[in-house]
Amino acid sequence: MQIQHKRPWLGHYPETAVSSIEFPEMSLYTFLDHTAEKYPENTAIIYENEKLTYHDLKDKVDRLAAAWKELGAAKGDRLGLMVGNHPIYVVSYYAALKLGMIVVQINPHYTPRELLEIFNDSETAYLVAEPDGLEKIVKICEIYSFKKIFSAGDSQTNDIPTISELIESAVPLKETCSISAKKDIAVIQYTGGTTGKKKGAMLTHFNLSANVLQSKVLYGSKMVYGQEIILTATPLYHVYGMTSGMNLPIYLGAAILLVNRFELEKVLRLIQTYRPTFFPGVPKMYNAFANYPEIDQYDLTCFKVCTSGSAPLPIEIMKKLKDLTGVPIGEGYGLSETSPTTHRNPPDGVSKIGSIGIPLPATDCRIVDENGVDVPEKTVGEILIKGPQVMLGYWNKPEETAQALKDGWLYTGDLATMDDEGYFYIVGRKKEMVIVGGFNVYPQEVEGVLYEHPAVLEAAVVGIPDKEAGEIVKAYIVPKAGKDIDIQELKEHCYQNLTRYKVPKQFEIRESLPRNTVGKLLKRILVEEEAKKA
């Protein structure tokens, strides 16, 4: 019997949202252009206690675009942005879009090998890099040729011109490159490379602008044009930081409170001083807030909306943060391939702890079995996405694109369930699922139980090979400061809350877990470590 594809979430949008939106086809640069015209004296960026208005931001963007055009930069050229959370990142990003260039997002902490992989794949022609990263770039130039390199620093290094110098010497460029929003790529966002070579998700101007509009509609009355302050601590080179921490506030005419490095006490002081209203954070940041001994001395009730992305947020942390902020932490879901957000718990509607929420307006979603057939409610299957935010495909990878995009649906590789109200729950990655004696074990479920133990700060669960059962469950634990973990006690806690085959057979206590720069747990490193032991 074939299950009908149902959309129960349509009845659960907040009153201020609609289930479908009209998306204008325009250059993403238009966000800045319109906002600078409407709110020229509004603060655009707050960085290290200095402020930049929207008028001044647009002026810098237009000057830099003029300078780059004079140097030969043109539509379709790839510009590598290897910069942290700094105003120069924002200026460079929008200057590139004004010219029709394609921004290649690059983590400044990548090794030369990782950088070269991206440069070769994307054929990066121009590069903006932080001074600390220029040493790596100079070495790479021995085997890779850029048309031009620019420094994000205050002074020249190795005769490399600075972005600031280019801005000062140029006259603002008036014309904006003609863009076909659904076809022209704005950003190449490389995935984490968890399964081999990195893949560059091609995000069009339409993809990225649509995701901003979808978010605004779902946030409803919580987001007021020209009045918000967004705490942007998530890296802008990450797709979540780029959209929620930069493109959305620029569309809203909001102030971006830009934090280059998440240092907890510094961030808490900034919150007290500037009283931000929206925080798109990641679990690592919320975990730091929740476990800070002196957190009760700080007032976090300024936030109207707090969201979490990039990785699952433990339920206990979510509850603690709601007590601190007075608002639920709106957990959501997304991918590099979807600009990134596809699901979110609506701030103006029902928020369910443990759920990634409902699909964003104009987003369709299915849960299917291994044959691509829809499964009943509350049944585990792969989550498929369709919507205006879904990528054009993978850069220079037609085979991988064909595997991921079928009949307009993006096959995410993530396992999830949907309840009878249309709220979705991520169970884990298809490739992370552990099969113990023929039974499926979903690591996130086991991790959720481990996080309930009062001495556990962090937990990660993976499957490791076993001759008898095929695989067994192993848990890696980071204890809270000053706490000792009794393995037998922790195992008993698991037996009380999990079916026997789901209980970890092995436990390993660690000081930390491997994570990337936005706090996403890198389980592949744990798996690789186990493989070396075998």
* Separation CA 76–CA 199 (nearest Å): 19
User: What residue ranges of the chain are covered by domains with CATH 3.40.50.980?
Assistant: 27-178
Q: Name the nearest CA neighbour of 344 among 6, 17, 4, 31.
A: 17
Q: What is the pLDDT of residue 17?
A: 66
Q: Supply the DSSP symbol for 211.
A: H
How far is CA 83 from each of CA 130, 230, 277, rounded to the nearest angstrom?
6, 20, 25
For domain 27-178, give the CATH number.
3.40.50.980
For domain 432-533, give the CATH number.
3.30.300.30
Q: Supply the DSSP symbol for 160.
A: B
Q: Supply the DSSP symbol for 118.
A: H
The pLDDT of 120-138, averaged and rounded, is 96
Write out pLDDT tens, residues 31-57: 999 999 999 999 999 999 899 999 999
The pLDDT of 194-202, averaged and rounded, is 77
Q: What is the pLDDT of residue 361?
A: 93
Long-range contacts of 514-519 (CB under 8 A, 24+ apart): 515/284, 516/107, 516/192, 517/107, 517/109, 517/235, 517/238, 518/234, 518/235, 518/238, 518/240, 518/241, 518/282, 518/284, 518/310, 519/282, 519/283, 519/284, 519/285, 519/310, 519/311
Write out pLDDT tens, residues 317-363: 899 999 999 999 999 999 999 999 999 999 888 899 889 999 999 99
Q: What is the pLDDT of residue 194?
A: 43
DSSP 38-73: H-TTSEEEEETTEEEEHHHHHHHHHHHHHHHHHTT-
Is 244:271 a contact under the CB 8 Å cutoff?
Answer: no
More confident site: 173 or 468: 173
User: What residue ranges of the chain are covered by domains with CATH 3.30.300.30?
Assistant: 432-533
**Model confidence at 372: pLDDT above 80:** yes
- Overall pTM > 0.85: yes
Q: What is the pLDDT of residue 195?
A: 46
Q: What is the pLDDT of residue 113?
A: 85
Q: What is the pLDDT of residue 2?
A: 59
Write out pLDDT tens, residues 52-79: 999 999 999 999 999 999 999 999 999 9
pLDDT band at 193 (very low <50, low <70, confident <90, very high): very low
Write out pLDDT tens, residues 139-179: 999 999 999 999 999 887 778 999 999 999 999 999 999 99
- Amino acid, single-letter form, for residue 17: A
